[in-house]
Chains A and B, each alone.
Chain A
Amino acid sequence: MAGPAHPEAMAPPTPGRTRVAPPQMPVTWWSAKRIRTYLLFDATGVIYFLVAFVAIRLVDALGAGPEAWNAAMESLRNPVYIVFHLLSLACVIFVAVRFFRLFPKSQPPMIGPLKPPPGPVIHAMLYVVWLGITALMTAILAGVIL
């Protein structure tokens, strides 16, 4: 079954010489297996949006004094928040993994005079950098170093 696409989709620069029926797209376009990953990828934006609100609330509590801060910290122990934060971690990992998986394809055949390294090498480099920085930041925040 088809539903309407954008009415101007693939429209010619000047109107055609006969009346046309508007462009259609299958209504079930979102259900094809391969597109679900892409939609999930884009949908994770919602989580980040919510994370921003949580962060704003915490910053606000920070400014309101030690009692408000402690109350905010206490509320974070609520299982809903735990689940929410685990979910947003999962989203970030999912997005990073998908992005890393597709990254080698976006490399041009030559970068200046050099060929980019093969896919698995690029993957390895990306993971090393990502996990390395994560480890470093964790260590700094935990006070282990610096």
Chain B
Amino acid sequence: MDVSRHDIVIVGGGAAGLRAAIEAAEKNPSASIALVSKVYPMRSHTVSAEGGAAAIAREDDNVELHGYDTVKGSDFLADQDCIQYFVEQAPKELALLENWGCPFSRNEDGTVATRAFGGMTTKRTWYATDKIGFHMLHALFQHSMRFKNIVRYDEFFVSKLLIEDGSCRGVAALDIRTGEYSTILGRAVILTTGGGGKIFPFTTNGTIKTGDGMALAYRAGVPLKDMEFVQYHPTGLPGTGILITEATRGEGGYLRNSKGERFLVEYDYGVGKKAELGPRDMISRAIVQEIEAGRGFSGAYGDYVHLDLTHLGEDKINTRLPFVRELAKVYIGVDPVTTPIPVRPVVHYMMGGVDTNIHGATEMPGLYAAGETACVSINGANRLGSNSLTECLVFGAAAANHAIDFAKGSSEGNEASLRAQAEEEAGRVENLRGRKKGGERISEIRRELNSIMENACGVYREQSTLQAGVGATAQLRGRVADLRLEDESKVFNTELITALELTNMVEVAEVLAVSAAHRKESRGAHTCKDYTTRNDQDYLYHTMARHDPAGPRLGKKDVVLGKWVPEERKY
């Protein structure tokens, strides 16, 4: 088996992973940084982000405002010290990104332009027409190519963390091309694998978002935090779930029901004067309620409402929202210049993830996480749009800095014993390859998983379906151990990868369901019909879920409060 040694191993090549790699490579030119990704980095799902990235830019903005908006958006579950760090670092990070070539849209005077976004009191979302994720990812990836000490392992699937003496010392990765395992050792490992939206049937996420990093940490004994909080983006296309950016509303778009009313203005959904620019959880709930009240539209792919951009004019749409226009035409046959776009809430982001501190460090020495994979937490119970991309940059860099320092101080692991662990994993996965004696089909389990999550963990949840979901996901965990695989080949066996991803998805889903079932209140994106108010007395804490053979074991972690005292969340 191939064994390679590096100083830092980064799993996942999206915005957070690439930012971490660049930071580590720059800060320490003699260090060797491994960037291990199951796809080529330019395919990472960062690429599909559209709206923008938030950081203070204008004179009328300051860290207080950005911090307050974020805390309030999080329904006061976010850690305020982390938010303070985040809003301070954000402008520096985005300025660096601009220096590295990201083609931000500009004001008249040549400075970077900003647009309004949901839940933000002033314009602070830096944008690049409506393809920020694409431009950010490509700028980061291309910039990372300058560093010869970043060693890329493209299309390597990490299936196990290698741990020695309670410290994380590397990963066991399947080389997708050859079908052979590789031991990639490092003094620190940073997980930046994104979220796990594919456990839901309707999601903006691409097929690669299967919660791999979360599952890796979870199985290694590291707790997952706040997993019950799943963001439903209000405007996704029915059927495919393709993202229609919040920027459509930032540029002045309206949401209309079947009566043509701007229902966010007509009825009280808690968004006040912000209307379409309210936080995502409130708007998603509003849309679901409109549909339930009979004021939605019905279509081949379910019920939806209208996103009306017709009053913006062709010029504005072509300059500020060209990608949205293209998506609407290609994927739903609608030209937003003349016709409203059908939209419905779809799963978009996981606020929860691997529990880390402000430096991106988990409780396991040598193991870090950043980006959507991690829960620092700055997003709490609900994330504001355009904070996530900046989060990837800020905490990707933070984790890399801490990891580099840790790596300098740590000793080399025992190569022989780590390699033995990897070989054991290789053997386990080899048994899965072409496992024709299995009884469960991959696509069948995936469908069932999707259905369970849709029923149990939708925008509105109730205890009865949540408890059923807990039982059902536990059952799936047993069934996914008996998968049937047909493909016996070694070279580029994508069925095997899909099976490994499915196992990760089922574990993440179970943690999600158990966490959601236990939280008997409504906060942020977690809305429980049986407990409709926020209960700060009993539930102002982070849910911690630890791995246990009998099912996730729950615990609590204090929220770091600060100058912003929890108050009623009204806009």
A17 to B178, CA, bound (A): 7
The verdict on A16 contacting chain B, using a C-beta distance below 8 Å, is yes
Q: Measured between C-beta atoms, what is the minimum distance from A71 to chain B in Å?
A: 67
The verdict on B177 contacting chain A, using a C-beta distance below 8 Å, is yes
The verdict on A78 contacting chain B, using a C-beta distance below 8 Å, is no
Q: Which residue of A lies closest to B490 (CB)?
A: A18
Q: Measured between C-beta atoms, what is the minimum distance from B427 to chain A in Å?
A: 21
A16 to B175, CA, bound (A): 12
B491: chain A residues within 8 A (beta carbon): 18
A16 to B178, CA, bound (A): 10
A16 to B491, CA, bound (A): 12
B492: chain A residues within 8 A (beta carbon): 18
The 8 A CB mask of A1-43 against B (1 = contact, 0 = none) is 0000000000000001110000000000000000000000000
Q: Measured between C-beta atoms, what is the minimum distance from B489 to chain A in Å?
A: 11
Other contacts beyond A17-B175, A18-B178, A18-B491: 4, CB < 8 A = A16-B177, A17-B177, A18-B177, A18-B492
Interface residues of B (CB under 8 A from A): 175, 177-178, 491-492
Q: Measured between C-beta atoms, what is the minimum distance from A16 to chain B in Å?
A: 7
6 A–B contacts, CB within 8 A, in A order: A17-B175, A17-B177, A18-B177, A18-B178, A18-B491, A18-B492
Q: Which residue of B lies closest to A16 (CB)?
A: B177
Give chain A's interface secondary structure class. Answer: loop
A16 to B176, CA, bound (A): 13
A16: chain B residues within 8 A (beta carbon): 177
Q: Measured between C-beta atoms, what is the minimum distance from A146 to chain B in Å?
A: 55
B177: chain A residues within 8 A (beta carbon): 16-18
A79 to B492, CA, bound (A): 64
Q: Which residue of B lies closest to A17 (CB)?
A: B178
Q: Which residue of A lies closest to B175 (CB)?
A: A17
Q: Which residue of A lies closest to B179 (CB)?
A: A18
A17: chain B residues within 8 A (beta carbon): 175, 177-178
A18: chain B residues within 8 A (beta carbon): 177-178, 491-492
Q: 8 tightest CB-CB pairs across the interface, nearest first?
A: A17-B178, A18-B491, A18-B178, A17-B177, A18-B177, A17-B175, A16-B177, A18-B492
Q: Which residue of A lies closest to B180 (CB)?
A: A17
B175: chain A residues within 8 A (beta carbon): 17
Q: Measured between C-beta atoms, what is the minimum distance from B208 to chain A in Å?
A: 22
A18 to B491, CA, bound (A): 7
A16 to B177, CA, bound (A): 9
B178: chain A residues within 8 A (beta carbon): 17-18
Q: Which residue of B lies closest to A19 (CB)?
A: B491
Q: Measured between C-beta atoms, what is the minimum distance from A17 to chain B in Å?
A: 5
A18 to B176, CA, bound (A): 11
Q: Measured between C-beta atoms, what is the minimum distance from A13 to chain B in Å?
A: 14
A17 to B2, CA, bound (A): 12
Q: Which residue of A lies closest to B2 (CB)?
A: A17
Q: Measured between C-beta atoms, what is the minimum distance from A12 to chain B in Å?
A: 11
Q: Measured between C-beta atoms, what is the minimum distance from A18 to chain B in Å?
A: 5
Q: Measured between C-beta atoms, what is the minimum distance from A114 to chain B in Å?
A: 20
Q: Measured between C-beta atoms, what is the minimum distance from A14 to chain B in Å?
A: 13
Q: Measured between C-beta atoms, what is the minimum distance from A109 to chain B in Å?
A: 14
A16 to B492, CA, bound (A): 13
From residue 44 to 99 of chain A, which have CB atoms closer than 8 A to chain B?
A: none
A17 to B492, CA, bound (A): 11
A119 to B65, CA, bound (A): 50
Q: Measured between C-beta atoms, what is the minimum distance from A15 to chain B in Å?
A: 12
Q: Measured between C-beta atoms, what is the minimum distance from B40 to chain A in Å?
A: 13
A18 to B178, CA, bound (A): 6
A17 to B491, CA, bound (A): 10
From residue 121 to 144 of chain A, which have CB atoms closer than 8 A to chain B?
A: none
A93 to B492, CA, bound (A): 52
Q: Measured between C-beta atoms, what is the minimum distance from A72 to chain B in Å?
A: 62
A146 to B86, CA, bound (A): 80
A18 to B492, CA, bound (A): 10
Q: Measured between C-beta atoms, what is the minimum distance from A120 to chain B in Å?
A: 23
A78 to B492, CA, bound (A): 66
A97 to B217, CA, bound (A): 64
Q: Which residue of A lies closest to B492 (CB)?
A: A18
Q: Measured between C-beta atoms, what is the minimum distance from B206 to chain A in Å?
A: 25
Q: Measured between C-beta atoms, what is the minimum distance from B184 to chain A in Å?
A: 15
A117 to B334, CA, bound (A): 36
A26 to B534, CA, bound (A): 63
Q: Measured between C-beta atoms, what is the minimum distance from B106 to chain A in Å?
A: 16
Q: Which residue of A lies closest to B178 (CB)?
A: A17
Q: Which residue of B lies closest to A18 (CB)?
A: B491
Q: Measured between C-beta atoms, what is the minimum distance from A11 to chain B in Å?
A: 15
Q: Measured between C-beta atoms, what is the minimum distance from B174 to chain A in Å?
A: 13
Q: Measured between C-beta atoms, what is the minimum distance from A63 to chain B in Å?
A: 61
A17 to B175, CA, bound (A): 10
Q: Measured between C-beta atoms, what is the minimum distance from B379 to chain A in Å?
A: 40
